[in-house]
Amino acid sequence: MSEQLKFNLPQIKTDLIRGIKECNLRGLIHSSKWLSELNFSLQIPNFDANTVDAGSYSGITQDEFDNYFIAKSYFDTREYDRAAYFVRNCVSSVPRFLYFYSMYMAKEKKRLDNSPDNSTLNGSAQLKDLSELMSVLNEEYNHKNLDGYGLFLYGIILKKLDLTKMAITVLLESVHLVPINWSAWLELSPLIQDTEHLRGLSLPKHWIKSFFIGHTFIEIFVVNEAGISLFEEIQNAGFEKSVYATSQIAIAYHNNRDVDRAIQMFQQIQSVDPFRLENMDMYSNLLFVREQKTEMAHLAHKAVEINKYRPETCCVIGNYYSIRGEHQKAILYFQRALKLNPKYLSAWTLMGHEFMELKNTNAAIQSYRQAVEVNRRDFRAWYGLGQAYEIIKMPVYALYYYKTATQLRPYDSRMLHALGEIYEKLDKKSNALKCYQKACNVGDIEGFAMLKLGNLYEKMGDQENAVSSYKNYVNVERSTSEKASLITAYLYLANYYAEKKNDDATHYAHKVLELDETKQEAKAILKRISSARAKPENEEDDITEAIMELEPEPDILQTETSGEDMDMSLA
Amino acid sequence: MTTGQVIEESDMNQQFVSNDQITDIESYRKLVKNFLDLRRYKSALYWSEKVAVLSNNYPKDVYQIAQCMYMLKEYNRASHVIKKSGIETKNLLCLTLLVECLFASNDYQEALNLLNSSEIEDLNTSLHDETEIDPTISQVNDNLRNDMLASLYLLKAKILESMDKRTLAIDCYIQALHKSVYLTEALDALLQHEVLMSWEEKDLIHLIMPNKQLCNDADLKILKHLYDQKLKKYYSTSNQAVHPEKTPNNANILNTINEKIKAGETITDSRRSIGLSTSTTIKSATKAFPTPGAQSVMSPANKILFDLKNTSASAFSIQASLTRVSMLNNSRTLNTSKITINTIKNSEDALTADNALKLLENSVDIMVAKAEEFFYNCEYKKCLKIIEEILDRDPYHKRSLFIQIGCLMELKDSNALFYTAHKLVDFNPDDAISWYAVGSYYILINKTEQGRRYLSKAASLDRLFGPAWLSYGHSFAKEKEHDQAMAAYFKATQLMRGCHLPLLYIGVECGLTKNYEMAEKFFYQAMALAPLDVFVLHELGVIKYESELFEDAEEIFRSTLNMVTEMCKKNQEPISERWEPLLNNLGHCCRKNKKLAESLSFHTQALSLKPMNAQTYTSIGFVLALMGRLSEAVEAFHKSLALKRDDVIASTILKTVLEDLVEEMVENDDIVKEFKSDLMPVEATIDASEELKENTDANRKLKFDENEDLTEMSLDCD
């Protein structure tokens, strides 16, 4: 990806137009939508779409036209079984695909209709249906009867049945045959474990490959930056108007916790395409982190106006209720989102968060688990699982989950911090130490790691390190927000220096005096210091004076922000 | 009476007028015949009586009267007419009719006495001599006479069967077939209740086939093709693998199996050669234990096995009758019926044998045979497709309906089964199959109580209806009532002597009650019937596994898998989903035998056959844990638990594995590595041994679950 991206734009345009036609023929509406979006964004002056030979109705033999048309119209009216019935004997590629696809859609539709409660992702009946379809397709596959689209369908089913390896090979074959089918790429993307894996794949040489790689980069959180730069390149190479590219960049910023820029990107998208709902839930997450309640309310109302029954809309509303503290209502909306699309990842995770808020740990665990089922790379769900298990006092499990979360986001101090705490609970101090240290190194988001480090050193009796940690902690401006912990730090420092007979003791003791609860203690320390000093010099008055001086100083009470909302800001 | 005379007179007047005052009895006979053809039996009876009076009880006319009465279902009346005239002692046709009447009016004993008292073979010779007296009837040539004799034997067999003398009945059926190859009723009676062993069926077909000089090639070809279709379906598939010793890797165990089977056969063989005397001694031996003490010692399973050995006494008579037939075969010249082919003179009607066979593919019976074959190969969908085609042509075709019920059961299509059962009951409420359908439906929807009620109704309607008993057994097996299930299966073994399924099920039940030795014995018995049937082999493997003979189990499973893959190769299709338990079991065995990598690959294969199976995931996790690939193991367990939340085994193993994993993680965290490295191996080994202990415990549960799986599996093939 190092060399400059160069696209042959007229060629792409031709490809796109053909692709739209082919996908439309086969009822692959999502692919066709994506391609159309891309096509729209690609304006080439003096390009006459009529010159493109879209090969109308290729892949349908003369005598199967009538069957195809009736089936396609039934398919469009969502009467899938009926559609399948009318093309059951067709042999040419398009009606054949339509047959399998209708069967698949019929099963999917039935499953959605039959699941009034979305407690599980896979009913056994559904499983049986899918396995049947799989064995049919498997036979076709073995006889090499499947074209690129058929392979795509086979790949989806394999993926649904969790036969990942097979799914990857089949989907790869599919994209080699029909690279224009974006859905196949999209299905392939979550199956890729890491960059190594991505590099190992043999992908077809096609312009769409860049989109796929960018998408996958962003999907594998770790290489966000690479994804951003790739999409920026794509934009520069001619797709500057592509909403998709912009939204991917926005998602990448969101992943990088670059909230302001992400929000800015989303606003940009909104102005270009005001009725777009995709990724709006992510936008609302960002607003949640920034606590822009009005913005959220506005977004929610707008989304409802556009389409009430979209999972994205439901998530936006759920988030809105969540920030208002109406967690029950929020859960209701997340559930609705899941009813609309049981594989909607963020709804599962967000619902888990809501259950955590309501202290319903078991339900939260269920939700998080489903989220992990849907996408193993969702570190928030893993983190949530860790938290939940920590609460129900199963530290071993919690450790495992935190560990997984850390593997997914190695440079996120929150995970490391949580991991350290668990290690501490399990009495693995050295491991905990390592975690805290790493958390401090990667940039402590909450600012707790240093304090924890100090605490740990204190427990281990390593005064020197404890002091340096506490000092570090105290010196960081941010940590002033957390008064109580700040005081503990000061207290420890005061005590320490009092022992050492250092003048700094007084300084820290004065700091401790700021809080009412610890005032007595502070006084005691000061007394001790003064008495220690009094012996050689007798400066008692100074100290009392000092106390008097400090006494009326008003407490600077700061509003707590970050601590409480920790779970949420993860979102 | 007077009115009758009046009519007669008027009629005579008419005759008188039209035919120059000559009464032509022949024309009345024609009238009767016409009425008979038009099914106006009452009128026919009326006129036939008149004819008889006119001809002064000419035998043929009396026969006609009786025939009409029979058609009117007035059986006693008909038999009385024949007996009164006394022609039954002279004439074969009349004798047959009389016996038929007696049979229809349930006078079995009388019919039997009649048959035994009159020398049937002599009768027909005497009939031959009486050509002049009885010109119409004596016109029968040899051919017809043989058919008549065959049908008389068939009647006798039916009577004997109704009197529960089944072995004698079988003998008569065989004789009937011997008289006429074309008497399919007799063949069906022999085959449909699974009375014969598969090799006996082959012998039978072989023996009854007419000689080449009697029959032209094409006819023979057709006959053989048609009759071969009637034979046992599952035998043909297992037959292909009769000599698996040839494949090198499974030589050992299969040899021993074969020896055992042979031993079993020799026992039965010796019994056959010694004949009735041994079997009676054995029977008396069983009768020597009537004391309650001895009976209580004998477990139910033991008793069944014991009784089973006794029932093989019946093999004697079948074998004897077969040999008798074969001996007759050598001497027979013209005494079987045959189709006279020379009637076909028209060249357009003449078909080549191959063409005929091709056309016959569309015959219902051939189609049913094909459907059955699919059924035994568990291809229920394909089977159902053929059945639907047949039922479209002939909606009340019983045999296909029977297969349809089985398919619908397997596919758990309760709605279709409900409909079929309802239709059946509406149309033939007196037929066992209707109530069998109803019972099956109730069992399918888990109302076993009602299900059993209807099944027993089916069994009482047709006492030879084995499948009802099998279903009855399954219903108990489902509720884990092993003893009762075994009893039902045993009843089925009695009815379906040539079928290995009841034996297989008894074996499975024995295995479930932890009576492994007994189970093994039953499996060997089943194998004697269906040599190396893959399902039986599989079950045998399970029993070996249960009795902790893991090496043996592995070998058996492996050879089973070989057979399955060979079969699939032959049919050019991928291994079917139904073999997923086999692969999983092989995985378990490999794990037990410390072949972890292989075990893993088997489990993964199983998973690709049947995805999203919680148990398979658990097993994979287990193997991975034993291999030390802990994090992968944890992942597998998670998948398993996601599918089945309250799986005790998975969650317990998961817990230990997670603990180990945490240890590992602690050690693998970069900083701690150096000062803990020397401790690690020791700890690891301890862990492993602990785990193994745990595992055996967990494993026991695993095995139990497997068994569940296997019973399901074995139920599949019914």
User: Do residues A431 and A424 touch, judged by C-beta distance below 8 A?
Assistant: no
Question: How far is Cα A182 from Cα B658, in angstroms, rounded to an integer?
Answer: 40
Residue of A nearest to B673 (CA): A431
User: How many CB atoms lie under 10 A from the CB of residue B700?
Assistant: 11
Q: Which of A375, A396, A402 has the most B C-beta neighbours within 10 Å, making it the best mutation to test the interface with B?
A: A396
Helix (H, G, I), strand (E, B) or coil at A485: helix
Q: Is the dihedral of CA A183, A186, A191, A197 positive or negative?
A: positive
User: Do residues B291 and B172 touch, judged by C-beta distance below 8 A?
Assistant: no
DSSP one-letter code for B335: -
B471 contact partners, CB below 8 Å, separation of at least 6: B436, B439, B440, B443, B451, B455, B718
- Domain B595-716, architecture per CATH: Alpha Horseshoe (1.25)
Does the pLDDT at position B288 exceed 50? no
> In this structure, which amino acid lies at residue B128?
H
Nearest to B612 among A122, A139, A369 (CB): A122
Q: What is the dihedral of CA B492, B497, B500, B505, to 10 degrees?
A: 20
User: Do residues B694 and B656 touch, judged by C-beta distance below 8 A?
Assistant: yes
Per the model's pLDDT, the better-predicted residue between B285 and B7 turns out to be: B7
* Contact yes or no for A131 and B577 at CB 8 A: yes
Measure B634 CA to nearest chain A CA, in Å: 9
Question: How far is Cα A399 from Cα A411, in angstroms, rounded to an integer?
Answer: 17
Extents of the domains making up chain B? 2-233, 595-716
* pLDDT value at residue A481: 57
* pLDDT value at residue A477: 56
Does the pLDDT at position B45 exceed 80? yes
Residue of B nearest to A368 (CA): B642
Q: Which of B660, B669, B675, B679 has the most A C-beta neighbours within 10 Å, making it the best mutation to test the interface with A?
A: B669
CB of B610 within 8 Å of a chain A CB? The answer is yes
- Which parts of B462-533 fold into alpha helices (H)? 466-478, 482-495, 501-512, 516-529
Measure B608 CA to nearest chain A CA, in Å: 7
Token digits for B594?
Answer: 């410390």
What is the distance, to the nearest Å, from the Cα of residue A151 to the centroid of all Cα atoms in its chain? 29
Does the pLDDT at position B267 exceed 50? no
In the CATH hierarchy, which top-level class contains the domain B2-233? mainly alpha
* Contact yes or no for B610 and A403 at CB 8 A: no
A150 contact partners, CB below 8 Å, separation of at least 6: A93, A96, A97, A100, A137, A140
* pLDDT value at residue B121: 61
Indicate the helix (H) or strand (E) that contains A21.
Answer: helix A9-26
* pLDDT value at residue A287: 92
* Contact yes or no for B672 and A139 at CB 8 A: no
Q: In a 10 Å sphere around its CB, with 0-12 CB exposed, 13-18 middle and 19+ buried, how is residue A305 labelled?
A: exposed
* Contact yes or no for B669 and A138 at CB 8 A: no
Per-residue model confidence as pLDDT tens digits over B6-21: 444 444 444 444 555 6
What is the distance, to the nearest Å, from the Cα of residue A497 to the centroid of all Cα atoms in its chain? 46
Helix (H, G, I), strand (E, B) or coil at B333: coil
* pLDDT value at residue A515: 65
Q: How many contacts does A have with B, using Cβ atoms within 8 A?
A: 55
CB of B612 within 8 Å of a chain A CB? The answer is yes
Does the pLDDT at position B169 exceed 60? yes
Average pLDDT of the segment spanning B609-621: 87
B chain contacts of residue A396, beta-carbon cutoff 8 Å: 655, 658-659, 662
Q: Is residue A116 part of a domain?
A: no
B chain contacts of residue A403, beta-carbon cutoff 8 Å: 665
* pLDDT value at residue A463: 73
CB of B679 within 8 Å of a chain A CB? The answer is no
CB of B30 within 8 Å of a chain A CB? The answer is no
Looking at chain B, the whole-number percentage of residues with pLDDT higher than 90 is 8
Per the model's pLDDT, the better-predicted residue between A517 and B511 turns out to be: B511
Per-residue model confidence as pLDDT tens digits over B467-480: 888 889 999 988 88
* pLDDT value at residue B281: 33
Q: Which of B610, B612, B653, B666 has the most A C-beta neighbours within 10 Å, making it the best mutation to test the interface with A?
A: B612
Q: What is the dihedral of CA A120, A121, A124, A128, to 10 degrees?
A: 180
* Contact yes or no for A396 and B607 at CB 8 A: no
A225 contact partners, CB below 8 Å, separation of at least 6: A252, A256
Same CATH topology for B2-233 and B595-716: the answer is yes
The C-alpha angle B84, B86, B88, rounded to 5 degrees, equals 120
Does the pLDDT at position B249 exceed 50? no
B chain contacts of residue A434, beta-carbon cutoff 8 Å: 669-672
Question: How far is Cα B318 from Cα B170, in angstroms, rounded to an integer?
Answer: 7
In chain A, which residues touch B (CB < 8 A)? 122, 127, 131, 134-135, 138-139, 142, 161-163, 166, 369-370, 372-373, 396-397, 399-400, 403, 423, 426, 428, 430-431, 433-434
* Contact yes or no for A135 and B659 at CB 8 A: no
Does the pLDDT at position B335 exceed 70? no
DSSP codes, A293-357:
HHHHHHHHHHHHHH-TT-HHHHHHHHHHHHHTT-HHHHHHHHHHHHHH-TT-HHHHHHHHHHHHH
Nearest to A138 among B574, B610, B672 (CB): B574
* Contact yes or no for B655 and A369 at CB 8 A: no
Question: How far is Cα A135 from Cα B379, in angstroms, rounded to an integer?
Answer: 13
A chain contacts of residue B655, beta-carbon cutoff 8 Å: 396
Mean pLDDT of chain B: 72
Q: Integer distance in angstroms from the first to the last C-alpha of chain A?
A: 31
* Contact yes or no for B661 and A400 at CB 8 A: yes
Of B459, B466, B471, B543, whose CA–CA distance to B509 is shortest? B543
User: Do residues B410 and B380 touch, judged by C-beta distance below 8 A?
Assistant: yes
Question: How far is Cα B140 from Cα B151, in angstroms, rounded to an integer?
Answer: 15
Q: Is residue A561 part of a domain?
A: yes
* pLDDT-derived band at B285, boundaries 50, 70, 90: very low
Token digits for B17?
Answer: 């007028």
Helix (H, G, I), strand (E, B) or coil at A62: helix
B chain contacts of residue A131, beta-carbon cutoff 8 Å: 577, 610-611
The C-alpha angle B108, B112, B114, rounded to 5 degrees, equals 120
Looking up tokens 């159309």, which residue turns up? Answer: A36
* pLDDT-derived band at B194, boundaries 50, 70, 90: low
B589 contact partners, CB below 8 Å, separation of at least 6: B541, B545, B550, B553, B554, B557, B599
B chain contacts of residue A127, beta-carbon cutoff 8 Å: 611-612
Q: Is the dihedral of CA A145, A150, A154, A155 positive or negative?
A: positive
Q: Is residue A476 part of a domain?
A: no
DSSP one-letter code for A236: I
DSSP codes, B219-277:
HHHHHHHHHHTTS-HHHHHHHTTS-GGGSGGGHHHHHHHHHHHHHHHHHHHHHHHHTHH
- Domain of A524 in residue numbering reads as 482-571
One pLDDT digit (tens) per residue for chain A, 571 residues: 445 677 888 888 888 888 888 898 899 999 999 999 998 888 887 777 677 666 667 778 888 889 999 999 999 999 999 999 999 888 888 999 999 999 999 988 888 777 655 445 555 666 777 888 888 888 888 888 888 899 999 999 998 888 888 899 999 999 999 999 999 999 998 888 888 888 888 888 888 888 999 998 888 877 788 888 889 888 888 888 888 999 999 999 988 888 899 999 999 999 988 899 988 989 999 999 888 889 999 999 999 999 988 999 999 999 999 999 999 999 999 998 988 888 888 899 999 999 999 999 989 998 998 888 888 888 889 999 999 999 988 888 888 888 888 888 877 778 888 888 888 888 777 788 888 877 777 766 666 677 777 777 777 777 777 777 777 776 665 555 566 666 777 777 777 776 666 666 677 776 666 666 667 777 777 777 777 666 655 544 555 555 554 444 444 444 443 333 344 444 3
* pLDDT value at residue B289: 33
* pLDDT value at residue B141: 58
Measure A98 CA to nearest chain B CA, in Å: 22
User: Do residues A424 and A399 touch, judged by C-beta distance below 8 A?
Assistant: no
User: Do residues A21 and A178 touch, judged by C-beta distance below 8 A?
Assistant: no
* Exposed e or buried b per residue across B159-189, where buried means at least 16 C-beta atoms within 10 angstroms of its C-beta: bbbeeebbbbbbbbbbbbbbbbbbbebbbeb
User: Do residues A515 and A555 touch, judged by C-beta distance below 8 A?
Assistant: yes
Q: Is residue A84 part of a domain?
A: no
* Contact yes or no for A373 and B642 at CB 8 A: yes
* pLDDT-derived band at B339, boundaries 50, 70, 90: very low
* Contact yes or no for A163 and B607 at CB 8 A: yes
Measure A353 CA to nearest chain B CA, in Å: 19
Token digits for A108?
Answer: 């999917």
User: Do residues B507 and B472 touch, judged by C-beta distance below 8 A?
Assistant: no
Q: Is residue A558 part of a domain?
A: yes
Average pLDDT of the segment spanning B402-406: 89
Looking up tokens 């080549």, which residue turns up? Answer: B352
Measure B31 CA to nearest chain A CA, in Å: 56
Comparing A61-65, B8-12, B98-102, B166-170, the range with the smallest average pLDDT is B8-12
* Exposed e or buried b per residue across B102-129, where buried means at least 16 C-beta atoms within 10 angstroms of its C-beta: bbebebbebbbebbeebebeebbeebee
Q: What is the dihedral of CA B349, B352, B355, B356, to 10 degrees?
A: 70
Residue of B nearest to A136 (CA): B574
What ipTM, to 2 d.p.? Answer: 0.76
Q: Which of A143, A154, A162 has the most B C-beta neighbours within 10 Å, making it the best mutation to test the interface with B?
A: A162
Helix (H, G, I), strand (E, B) or coil at B180: coil
Measure A373 CA to nearest chain B CA, in Å: 8
